[in-house]
Protein backbone atom coordinates (compact mmCIF):
# COMPACT_ATOMS: atom_id res chain seq x y z
CA UNK A 1 0.00 0.00 0.00
CA UNK A 2 1.35 3.39 -1.01
CA UNK A 3 1.28 6.16 1.60
CA UNK A 4 1.89 9.58 -0.04
CA UNK A 5 5.06 11.22 1.22
CA UNK A 6 6.17 8.12 3.14
CA UNK A 7 6.43 5.11 0.84
CA UNK A 8 9.96 4.51 -0.40
CA UNK A 9 10.36 3.01 -3.85
CA UNK A 10 13.14 1.79 -6.14
CA UNK A 11 12.89 2.14 -9.92
CA UNK A 12 14.30 -0.69 -12.04
CA UNK A 13 14.97 -0.61 -15.77
CA UNK A 14 16.57 -3.20 -18.06
CA UNK A 15 17.36 -2.44 -21.68
CA UNK A 16 18.94 -4.19 -24.64
CA UNK A 17 21.91 -2.47 -26.25
CA UNK A 18 21.36 -4.84 -29.17
CA UNK A 19 18.25 -2.85 -30.05
CA UNK A 20 19.76 0.50 -29.14
CA UNK A 21 17.24 0.98 -26.34
CA UNK A 22 17.46 3.93 -23.98
CA UNK A 23 16.60 3.30 -20.30
CA UNK A 24 15.14 6.80 -20.12
CA UNK A 25 12.18 5.58 -22.16
CA UNK A 26 11.26 3.40 -19.19
CA UNK A 27 12.50 5.62 -16.37
CA UNK A 28 10.42 8.63 -17.42
CA UNK A 29 7.23 6.62 -16.82
CA UNK A 30 8.52 5.14 -13.57
CA UNK A 31 9.40 8.60 -12.23
CA UNK A 32 6.00 9.93 -13.20
CA UNK A 33 4.29 7.04 -11.39
CA UNK A 34 6.29 7.78 -8.23
CA UNK A 35 5.73 11.53 -8.47
CA UNK A 36 1.98 11.20 -9.00
CA UNK A 37 1.75 9.20 -5.77
CA UNK A 38 4.23 11.35 -3.82
CA UNK A 39 6.55 8.37 -3.31
CA UNK A 40 10.13 8.78 -2.16
CA UNK A 41 12.45 7.44 -4.87
CA UNK A 42 15.41 5.91 -3.06
CA UNK A 43 17.36 4.96 -6.17
CA UNK A 44 17.15 4.09 -9.86
CA UNK A 45 18.69 0.75 -10.91
CA UNK A 46 19.55 0.14 -14.57
CA UNK A 47 20.88 -3.01 -16.27
CA UNK A 48 22.11 -2.34 -19.81
CA UNK A 49 22.52 -4.98 -22.49
CA UNK A 50 21.78 -7.93 -20.19
CA UNK A 51 19.29 -10.62 -21.08
CA UNK A 52 16.20 -10.97 -18.91
CA UNK A 53 16.83 -14.72 -18.84
CA UNK A 54 19.92 -14.19 -16.69
CA UNK A 55 19.20 -14.47 -12.99
CA UNK A 56 22.36 -12.58 -12.01
CA UNK A 57 22.60 -8.96 -13.16
CA UNK A 58 24.72 -6.16 -11.62
CA UNK A 59 21.92 -3.66 -10.96
CA UNK A 60 19.38 -6.34 -10.01
CA UNK A 61 21.81 -7.91 -7.54
CA UNK A 62 22.59 -4.54 -6.00
CA UNK A 63 18.88 -3.76 -5.74
CA UNK A 64 18.30 -7.03 -3.87
CA UNK A 65 21.02 -6.09 -1.38
CA UNK A 66 19.28 -2.79 -0.66
CA UNK A 67 15.91 -4.55 -0.49
CA UNK A 68 17.32 -6.90 2.12
CA UNK A 69 18.54 -3.85 4.07
CA UNK A 70 15.00 -2.43 4.06
CA UNK A 71 15.90 0.70 2.06
CA UNK A 72 12.58 0.67 0.17
CA UNK A 73 9.19 -1.02 0.18
CA UNK A 74 8.23 -1.19 -3.50
CA UNK A 75 10.08 -1.85 -6.75
CA UNK A 76 8.48 -0.19 -9.76
CA UNK A 77 9.12 -1.59 -13.26
CA UNK A 78 7.77 -0.62 -16.68
CA UNK A 79 6.82 -4.23 -17.44
CA UNK A 80 7.20 -7.60 -15.81
CA UNK A 81 9.63 -8.88 -18.45
CA UNK A 82 12.10 -6.18 -17.43
CA UNK A 83 12.68 -8.14 -14.23
CA UNK A 84 12.89 -11.55 -15.85
CA UNK A 85 11.62 -13.91 -18.52
CA UNK A 86 11.70 -17.16 -16.64
CA UNK A 87 8.67 -18.15 -14.59
CA UNK A 88 10.65 -20.02 -11.93
CA UNK A 89 13.10 -17.14 -11.51
CA UNK A 90 10.32 -14.57 -11.31
CA UNK A 91 8.41 -16.48 -8.64
CA UNK A 92 11.59 -17.05 -6.64
CA UNK A 93 12.42 -13.37 -6.89
CA UNK A 94 8.95 -12.34 -5.74
CA UNK A 95 9.12 -14.72 -2.76
CA UNK A 96 12.58 -13.45 -1.82
CA UNK A 97 11.44 -9.84 -1.93
CA UNK A 98 8.35 -10.71 0.09
CA UNK A 99 10.61 -11.93 2.90
CA UNK A 100 12.25 -8.50 2.90
CA UNK A 101 8.87 -6.76 3.03
CA UNK A 102 9.23 -5.53 -0.55
CA UNK A 103 6.64 -5.86 -3.31
CA UNK A 104 6.63 -5.16 -7.06
CA UNK A 105 4.46 -2.85 -9.12
CA UNK A 106 4.44 -3.29 -12.90
CA UNK A 107 3.04 -0.41 -14.95
CA UNK A 108 2.19 -2.38 -18.09
CA UNK A 109 0.36 -5.13 -16.26
CA UNK A 110 -1.12 -2.60 -13.82
CA UNK A 111 -0.78 -5.02 -10.92
CA UNK A 112 0.77 -4.92 -7.48
CA UNK A 113 2.03 -8.40 -6.75
CA UNK A 114 1.67 -8.34 -2.97
CA UNK A 115 -1.90 -9.70 -3.00
CA UNK A 116 -3.14 -13.27 -3.66
CA UNK A 117 -4.67 -12.06 -6.94
CA UNK A 118 -1.41 -10.39 -7.89
CA UNK A 119 0.51 -13.60 -7.17
CA UNK A 120 -1.87 -15.56 -9.37
CA UNK A 121 -1.59 -13.03 -12.20
CA UNK A 122 2.19 -13.07 -11.92
CA UNK A 123 2.27 -16.83 -12.40
CA UNK A 124 -0.07 -16.68 -15.39
CA UNK A 125 1.72 -13.77 -17.10
CA UNK A 126 5.18 -15.30 -16.62
CA UNK A 127 3.98 -18.69 -17.87
CA UNK A 128 2.45 -17.15 -21.00
CA UNK A 129 5.67 -15.27 -21.78
CA UNK A 130 7.69 -18.45 -21.40
CA UNK A 131 5.23 -20.43 -23.54
CA UNK A 132 5.46 -17.82 -26.30
CA UNK A 133 9.25 -18.16 -26.45
CA UNK A 134 8.96 -21.96 -26.59
CA UNK A 135 6.40 -21.79 -29.42
CA UNK A 136 8.63 -19.45 -31.45
CA UNK A 137 11.53 -21.90 -31.14
CA UNK A 138 9.29 -24.80 -32.12
CA UNK A 139 8.00 -22.95 -35.20
CA UNK A 140 11.54 -22.21 -36.30
CA UNK A 141 12.62 -25.84 -35.90
CA UNK A 142 9.54 -27.09 -37.78
CA UNK A 143 10.12 -24.59 -40.60
CA UNK A 144 13.73 -25.70 -41.00
CA UNK A 145 12.76 -29.36 -40.92
CA UNK A 146 10.11 -28.78 -43.60
CA UNK A 147 12.58 -26.87 -45.76
CA UNK A 148 15.18 -29.62 -45.42
CA UNK A 149 12.60 -32.28 -46.38
CA UNK A 150 11.44 -30.28 -49.40
CA UNK A 151 15.04 -29.79 -50.52
CA UNK A 152 15.72 -33.52 -50.20
CA UNK A 153 12.66 -34.41 -52.29
CA UNK A 154 13.46 -31.81 -54.95
CA UNK A 155 17.16 -32.56 -55.01
CA UNK A 156 18.08 -28.88 -54.62
CA UNK A 157 20.97 -29.71 -52.33
CA UNK A 158 19.89 -27.28 -49.62
CA UNK A 159 20.69 -28.35 -46.09
CA UNK A 160 20.54 -26.80 -42.65
CA UNK A 161 24.22 -26.41 -42.09
CA UNK A 162 26.61 -23.70 -41.10
CA UNK A 163 26.68 -21.13 -43.87
CA UNK A 164 29.95 -19.47 -44.79
CA UNK A 165 28.25 -16.13 -45.29
CA UNK A 166 25.89 -14.46 -42.84
CA UNK A 167 22.93 -13.30 -44.88
CA UNK A 168 20.65 -10.43 -43.74
CA UNK A 169 17.98 -12.95 -42.73
CA UNK A 170 20.45 -14.92 -40.60
CA UNK A 171 21.71 -11.66 -39.10
CA UNK A 172 18.13 -10.71 -38.16
CA UNK A 173 17.43 -14.19 -36.81
CA UNK A 174 20.50 -14.09 -34.55
CA UNK A 175 19.52 -10.66 -33.19
CA UNK A 176 15.95 -11.79 -32.56
CA UNK A 177 17.00 -14.89 -30.62
CA UNK A 178 19.47 -12.86 -28.55
CA UNK A 179 16.77 -10.33 -27.74
CA UNK A 180 14.61 -13.21 -26.53
CA UNK A 181 17.31 -14.05 -24.02
CA UNK A 182 18.90 -17.06 -25.74
CA UNK A 183 22.49 -17.95 -24.92
CA UNK A 184 25.22 -17.83 -27.57
CA UNK A 185 25.34 -21.64 -27.62
CA UNK A 186 21.56 -21.92 -28.10
CA UNK A 187 21.54 -19.36 -30.92
CA UNK A 188 24.37 -21.14 -32.74
CA UNK A 189 22.52 -24.45 -32.47
CA UNK A 190 19.16 -23.10 -33.62
CA UNK A 191 20.49 -21.00 -36.53
CA UNK A 192 23.08 -23.56 -37.60
CA UNK A 193 26.18 -21.39 -37.37
CA UNK A 194 29.25 -21.38 -35.17
CA UNK A 195 29.41 -19.57 -31.85
CA UNK A 196 32.11 -17.34 -33.28
CA UNK A 197 29.73 -16.25 -36.04
CA UNK A 198 27.03 -15.39 -33.50
CA UNK A 199 29.48 -13.37 -31.42
CA UNK A 200 30.72 -11.55 -34.52
CA UNK A 201 27.19 -10.56 -35.57
CA UNK A 202 26.24 -9.32 -32.10
CA UNK A 203 29.51 -7.44 -31.71
CA UNK A 204 28.95 -5.71 -35.05
CA UNK A 205 25.47 -4.61 -33.98
CA UNK A 206 26.67 -3.34 -30.62
CA UNK A 207 29.46 -1.31 -32.23
CA UNK A 208 26.97 0.21 -34.63
CA UNK A 209 28.44 -1.30 -37.78
CA UNK A 210 25.20 -3.19 -38.32
CA UNK A 211 21.78 -1.75 -37.64
CA UNK A 212 19.45 -3.72 -35.37
CA UNK A 213 16.76 -5.33 -37.48
CA UNK A 214 14.54 -6.76 -34.79
**CATH architecture entry for 8-125:** 3-Layer(aba) Sandwich (3.40)
- Interacting residues of 93 by C-beta distance below 8 A, sequence separation 6+: 83, 84
Whether residue 140 contacts residue 115, with contact meaning beta carbons closer than 8 Å, is answered with: no
Chain center to CA of 30: 18
Record the pTM: 0.55
Spatial separation of the C-alpha atoms in residues 158 and 99, rounded to whole Å: 55
Active site residues: 16
- Interacting residues of 31 by C-beta distance below 8 A, sequence separation 6+: 11, 41
CA distances to 66, 177, 207 from 126, rounded to whole Å, are: 25, 18, 32
pLDDT per residue as tens digits for the range 7-17: 999 999 988 75
Q: What is the pLDDT of residue 130?
A: 65
pLDDT per residue as tens digits for the range 80-132: 888 876 767 777 787 788 889 998 888 987 777 666 776 677 667 667 666 76
- Under the banding of pLDDT at 50, 70 and 90, the label for residue 214 is very low
161-207: CATH topology is: Arc Repressor Mutant, subunit A (1.10.10)
Q: What is the pLDDT of residue 81?
A: 80
8-125 and 161-207: same fold? no
The dihedrals phi and psi of 101, each to the nearest 5 degrees, come to 80, 25
Greater model confidence, 213 or 170: 170
Q: Which helix (H) or strand (E) holds 104?
A: strand 103-106
Q: Where are the domains of the chain?
A: 8-125, 161-207
Amino acid sequence: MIIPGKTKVALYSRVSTLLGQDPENQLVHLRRFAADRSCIVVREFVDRGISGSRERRPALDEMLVQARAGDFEIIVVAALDRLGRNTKHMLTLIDELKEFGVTITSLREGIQFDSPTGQMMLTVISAIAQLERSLISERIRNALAAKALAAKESGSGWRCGRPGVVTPSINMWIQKLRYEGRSIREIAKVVGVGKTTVLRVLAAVQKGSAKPTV
